[in-house]
Amino acid sequence: MNLRVFPTPEATARAGAEAFVRAAREAVTARGAFHVALAGGNTPRLMYRTLRGMAGVPWPAVHVYFSDERSVGPDSPESNYGAARDELLAHVPIPAGQIHRMEGERRPLEEAASTYEGVLPAKMDLVLLGMGDDGHTASLFPGTAALTAGGRVAANWVPKLDTGRLTFTYPEINAARERWLLVTGAGKSGILREVQAGEGNYPVAGVQDPVWFLDEAAAGQLSR
């Protein structure tokens, strides 16, 4: 595992934000734009709050996408887009046309997934991801159909939540130039240990060669 471990969630978020600045600048220098997929979850949200106050991001050349979305509208408190908007996007000078949200309120969700595939770039520069307490990432939950889906975006029914989600597929995530997983908290440490050991059957293990941004509590059971 490519581990980057920091003392606290706040230090982890700052390290992720600093790495984001570097990645954005490098992409814009090399290719003229930075295509990044944002994630939901508490740790990415903390990173967004940190990032909005940082200098040096070429925001006019940043294009924002989302790696998953709940089946709600943009103003719902459960919306990943809404959280990113409130914590980051409303505070930085990204042109509105370069922010591409998933239409979680659209029905059927399969239609929303197909439409979203049409707005994605040929290759994502960076996909940001979190990890849930059950080892899910994006909206790739244990035992769900999207774990074996082809294409780039899937509508995924999640029985344990009794709802559908939109999510990037493994092919889309793993085709990106970089994949980062931001995970904090002692409650995640057991799953991380199993992933490192190749045990269990957690969806997060399907992400290929990610960079893990962890705090000490999450990394506590890992071999380093």
Q: CA 22, 23, 27, 32 torsion: positive or negative?
A: negative
Report the alpha-carbon distance of residue 127 to residue 178 in Å, rounded: 6
Distances (CA, A) of 71 to 78, 146, 158: 9, 15, 11
Residue 224 lies in a domain: no
Report the alpha-carbon distance of residue 51 to residue 32 in Å, rounded: 21
Backbone angles phi, psi at 138, to 5 degrees: 50, -130
Residue 144 lies in a domain: yes
Q: For position 52, which CATH number holds? A: 3.40.50.1360
Is pLDDT at 222 greater than 90 in this prediction?
A: yes
Per residue in 131-149, pLDDT (tens digit) is 999 999 999 999 999 999 9
Q: What percentage of residues in the chain have a pLDDT greater than 90?
A: 98
Q: Please state the rounded mean pLDDT for residues 194-220.
A: 97
Residue 11 lies in a domain: yes
* pLDDT class of 69 with cuts at 50, 70, 90: very high
Q: Give the pLDDT confidence score for residue 107 in this predicted structure.
A: 97
Q: Please state the rounded mean pLDDT for residues 35-58.
A: 95
Is pLDDT at 224 greater than 90 in this prediction?
A: no
Report the alpha-carbon distance of residue 83 to residue 81 in Å, rounded: 5
Q: What is the mean pLDDT of the chain?
A: 97
Residue 39 lies in a domain: yes
pTM across the whole model:
0.97
Number of domains making up the chain = 1
Is pLDDT at 117 greater than 90 in this prediction?
A: yes
Domain span at residue 42 reads: 2-219
Residue 105 lies in a domain: yes
